[in-house]
Amino acid sequence: MSRWFSKSLGDPLLAGEPLTLLEGLFRAARAKAGNSPEMALFVRQESEGRLHCEVRAYFSPAAAGVARAAGADPCDRPSPAGLSLVAGAPEAWGTLFPDRPA
């Protein structure tokens, strides 16, 4: 299985600007790659039992170049629960999470 990548964008109230920058970087790279349906950028608010949550961006394996350029770290494939597709084709859900309930 190919590696996913993740990057913390920090507090949800302050994550808008970093997320906008990531989206721009991602969209440009995806366009250069011929709009690959396997390239996707997801986000989720996570707290892991802490009082405050953070926004975390997840890059699909096909977006590894963008993830590295953004300083993201390798990670396991995230659970689809609570994820939102920020950039990429809607078909990415079925391609990247084939076991996800419809």
Q: Is residue 58 part of a domain?
A: yes
> Tokens 């993830």 identify what position?
67
- Structural domain includes residue 83: yes
Query: Is 90 part of any domain?
Result: yes
Number of folded domains that form the chain = 1
Q: Is residue 101 part of a domain?
A: no
Residue 18 placed within a domain: yes
- Structural domain span for residue 37: 4-96
Is residue 35 assigned to a domain?
yes
- 19-29: average pLDDT: 90
Query: Residue 102 domain-assigned?
Result: no
CB 66, CB 25: distance < 8 Å: yes
pLDDT tens for each residue of 40-95: 999 998 766 666 788 899 999 999 999 999 999 999 999 999 899 999 999 999 99
